[in-house]
Structure 1
């Protein structure tokens, strides 16, 4: 009996041990990647520094939406909780100056963004606005008694009558609706939603960013000629006096001027500017200061060789965020001397989404790492000693994940290029691996060594099969200074291709890569570069072109932002047809033979879908394997979970076939999972 009891106890003990052993790790599926809770946007720290508001996004496949909710973290207790819940997203949280209310925007009523306010201790949100066209941006007055917001003017009765008689049409570039400034009284809005009082009335001024004066009597704002992207360079600064609604220009110069911030004493305004330099796409965005009464703007961030993102102006100086290679930091700037001090640490920090408490003594931010998802942190100042508030990375604990590290190499012309190398967790340098390059958009985007790719390209699933993945910060990428960004002026595609191919060559030379199993993919500018690599070279076994440019002439004449092309190529297609041929994938089609997957949004205005059809037909004419998949009702990005699932699966299948030799499924009749029983 004793022996039997002992054996039984041992067997039960062994069973309990086996039961508590963690399940073996595995790569996350596409659906699991899409359903991870992730941070979107920045932080909003309360005026007293006690709470930090932040946004969490998660896929909801039932309503086919990425739903964003507002969460709060109590910096004293560490407690985190959702402040908004339900089927409709909430966004753009902003604290009232006394911290009693948190305002936000949501389309939960009639699918138009309106202003709401909620107490930080919970309860029901109160609708504040009833704008006919929906609220765009907003800001509390310093005393908390008013809220200013931007909204488009309602269509005129004549426009409504025309639509009723002729149906709906648009006369291009003659009927854009410019946003205007409005204010509402908080006490009245808490009693019943308000339409607000219109403060500006100028169809030639599209109001964008704005900031209240410390005394609440004036609003500084930036405005361009229209909301069209082609007018990005026309934004200037203006001052609105609320007592009589008068508007006067404050800064008028070539190039964009935006994001005004008043000095604490109300005598100066800081803003972000190109200081009249053109072409402006590749130039450093600087911080400038101008007296409120007018005068010549003075650039104060000359010592910082990157874009300076203005955060705020406190008694200690101007705070701004900026990149240093792939790292992101917070800086303090003395506007009188131009002296810049880095506030954040360590060197490899990738901080973003920064906000300051009212006294400037506490700072909140978000940051990812090679081993974690983006998390929310808070620190007191001036000593930078951050405390982590969120634990979103816990969601990934059961997943197998690849390793991420930075590498550098020399491009064809000797330029140093940096990239993110993604390795299998069990990487063996003695073996030759397949290699997939993922090329970011922009071109002034940047890839960073951050955990997990959750959209577009499921890199960890390929790494789980033994592939290396290389994300190239090619010339033109942000973080490396103005001179580096300017290296692809009149050199698009060409110099970018040098940078990607030299990265491939670098890994081949190390003996890590099977040169016959190399692919490339990317979206937007990354799609264009992949198309260029697939036509101008025969180095790749397959490419995927996402929302990419195939012909710069086609792009220029159809895009909503032709100034982009003029900035980079220097002329229009009639004036300089050779530069358009030389930098276009279509200029190299005669020798093309790379299997190509083309993905494009049906309603894309930034890179119009004509580029996709043009590339597909040209490749088909030359018997090159090609598939074109059009995602219905989408513009330049894929913004809903079901289409994101499809887009990722299409890429997974394409490279699994051409790189790993799996069968290629029929995209028109894919194998679907069996419906789940309710």
Structure 2
């Protein structure tokens, strides 16, 4: 590890020189560590969490478990070569930490004693373990795993080779049970619990340990989740009982401590409402078999964190903050819980104390793990923010303006620390995906766009929370229904006009970029405006018909456009960038993953060919072997450089070769 680190430092010295006006190299940015998934022990004295670091030699991101014990300092608990340790849990008695990792025999379940020792593998499943849950008494562990190939499957492949039938290329996932003997920890054979032509997704033990509730859907394909039901199975006699079976998606979330009720998520009758409508939470009463809706006073999507003796807790966005709420389970009303953080990402409540582990941050910092006791101060456990304490990070400001149709739009303006409102700055617009995502104030935004380095070069950056973004309520999220691209463009253009009215942007040097839905909006700007000098389209949609027939989430298009191409071609033409390709004039970089199923790469080739045919400067970069995101550090570094080169050329007038030394 020390040799690798030294080598990276040598590389960084070279790259700092080649990145003009940038104090922090792209490698150093990509190499930042992050903390996630804090879990607290039942007695509240120990916290485990994962730390993700960059392994340049293996071209991967490695997640390992760290442990904090009351009164001590955090230390690394696991070291897993060529794999990550994930899905961390405590055993119910707090004696063991369990996790999933591939240590040479596919992803298996391992345990390690809290008081020390080596990790011990306790499962040996041919297809690996997908997920797991401890029984309340700690004597059993429920796991899910994918069905293995049958003899017939193997024979067909041997005789006919590899082929797949659309909509039939999957293996079901089912529940199995492992016994656990804490006095003799070793690999145990699993016993099958569920059988049938269906797929098990989320699940949990009932508090009495006699049953398991799970989400049942017809297959594991992404679109089948819109018809999932909630089922309970008795672990002794395998008798199943259907509990919630609305026409659309139902999903179990959490039991109450007594096991008399549970909270679940449901779209009730609308099979595609999960895209822009608020999710709905219900409590199911086991005695009456009836449900009641809760938390309707929160006009946003709601994420249930826990239901314990202290109450039912949920997280929800409120504009550019994410807050913790407690819900009165009788009246269904909610109230915010005060926390000294702008963004709360995750919480873990100890069962037998008032201690809580949480992951969160304030706007100016990075996400860190904290120890908290409700209504008290937070104690910093990890210290990721220290990594950037000496960096020249930008100043963030939340701004607001009116769009073309009068809609109120917010955005995050990033400025250099020595910002002078009397100067003229180049403007770069960075557009988030989703569309139901959101941009927050943060020191190092984005994954492949070097915002901090551009600001150091003398630019300002605008991140637009355009219509459809999360955090502003269901009505706002629905403003781009049958108005995709068009309304989004209004919001971006009006944001630029608002900044121009302040007198500090150079409108002759402006660029725009985004990934996924942000890539689509950037493509729409390419073919419908000429205000930008350069644009970058990352994994973006260029033609809604092309997208509709090839994406893995066809219901997305049906909901937002309220039609298929065959029932209303006009709306598909109105909202597709390719419709106005003859008006395009902006130099455009296109970035796309080779095997993207969410936005298939045919969209990239279509836009590229249209631009090339018109003689417009354009470049298509295909990241080999990747899907919708760039999830390896070397290719991420390449994508950063490609954007850096493109905008430096067209905005700053600088040609810079990809460094190879």
Instruction: Give the TM interval when normalised to the shorter protein.
Output: over 0.9
Confirm or deny: 8 A CA contact 1:274 1:284 kept in the other structure.
Answer: no
Question: Hey, what does 1:18 align to over in structure 2?
Answer: none
Deviations 1:186-215 (A, max 9, x none): 129964323411111122x22111111111
Aligned-CA RMSD value = 1.7
Whether 2:193 is the aligned partner of 1:199: answer yes
Q: 1:134 to 1:446 in 2, by over 3 A?
A: same
Distance in 2 of aligned mates of 1:591 and 1:652: 26
Question: Hey, what does 1:672 align to over in structure 2?
Answer: 660
Pairwise CA distance, 1:175: 3.5
Specify the SS of the correspondent of 2:181: helix
Distance in 2 of aligned mates of 1:317 and 1:512: 50
Confirm or deny: 8 A CA contact 1:370 1:405 kept in the other structure.
Answer: no
Specify the SS of the correspondent of 2:343: coil
Question: Hey, what does 1:629 align to over in structure 2?
Answer: 621
Confirm or deny: 8 A CA contact 1:43 1:52 kept in the other structure.
Answer: yes
Deviations 1:295-324 (A, max 9, x none): 342111111111111112112321111111
Pairwise CA distance, 1:603: 0.6
2:254 pairs with one of 250, 261, 279 = 261
Question: Hey, what does 1:469 align to over in structure 2?
Answer: 461
Distance in 2 of aligned mates of 1:53 and 1:169: 43
Distance in 1 of aligned mates of 2:143 and 2:490: 47
Confirm or deny: 8 A CA contact 2:425 2:460 kept in the other structure.
Answer: yes
Question: Hey, what does 1:336 align to over in structure 2?
Answer: 330
Question: Hey, what does 2:103 align to over in structure 1?
Answer: 108
Pairwise CA distance, 1:120: 2.3
Deviations 1:543-590 (A, max 9, x none): 111111000100010011101111111111111111111111111111
1:132 pairs with one of 126, 141, 148 = 126
Question: Hey, what does 2:383 align to over in structure 1?
Answer: 391
Pairwise CA distance, 1:600: 0.5
Specify the SS of the correspondent of 1:59: strand
Distance in 1 of aligned mates of 2:189 and 2:581: 56
Question: Hey, what does 1:576 align to over in structure 2?
Answer: 568
Question: Hey, what does 1:48 align to over in structure 2?
Answer: 43
State TM-score, norm by structure 1.
0.92
Pairwise CA distance, 1:361: 2.4
Matches within 5 A, 1:232-311: 232-277=225-270, 279-280=272-273, 281-292=275-286, 295-311=289-305
Q: 1:135 to 1:53 in 2, by over 3 A?
A: same
Distance in 1 of aligned mates of 2:184 and 2:329: 40
Specify the SS of the correspondent of 1:187: coil
Matches within 5 A, 1:219-618: 219-277=212-270, 279-280=272-273, 281-292=275-286, 295-346=289-340, 349-359=342-352, 361-381=354-374, 383-453=375-445, 455-618=447-610
- For structure 2, list consecutive stretches of 5 or more residues without a partner in the other structure: 1-20
Specify the SS of the correspondent of 2:478: helix
Matches within 5 A, 1:179-218: 179-187=173-181, 191-203=185-197, 205-218=198-211
Specify the SS of the correspondent of 1:351: strand
Distance in 2 of aligned mates of 1:26 and 1:656: 12
State TM-score, norm by structure 2.
0.94
Matches within 5 A, 1:115-126: 115-126=109-120
Residues 317-326 or 352-361, more deviating: 352-361
Distance in 2 of aligned mates of 1:607 and 1:263: 40
1:59 pairs with one of 54, 64, 70 = 54
Specify the SS of the correspondent of 2:400: strand
Distance in 1 of aligned mates of 2:412 and 2:346: 22
Q: 1:315 to 1:420 in 2, by over 3 A?
A: same
Distance in 2 of aligned mates of 1:565 and 1:78: 52
Confirm or deny: 8 A CA contact 1:221 1:238 kept in the other structure.
Answer: yes
Confirm or deny: 8 A CA contact 2:593 2:628 kept in the other structure.
Answer: yes
Residues 264-273 or 529-538, more deviating: 264-273
Question: Hey, what does 1:11 align to over in structure 2?
Answer: none
Pairwise CA distance, 1:539: 1.3
Pairwise CA distance, 1:293: 5.0
Specify the SS of the correspondent of 1:103: strand
Distance in 2 of aligned mates of 1:579 and 1:360: 56
1:73 pairs with one of 46, 65, 68 = 68
Distance in 1 of aligned mates of 2:376 and 2:300: 22
| Equivalences, count | 639
Pairwise CA distance, 1:151: 1.1
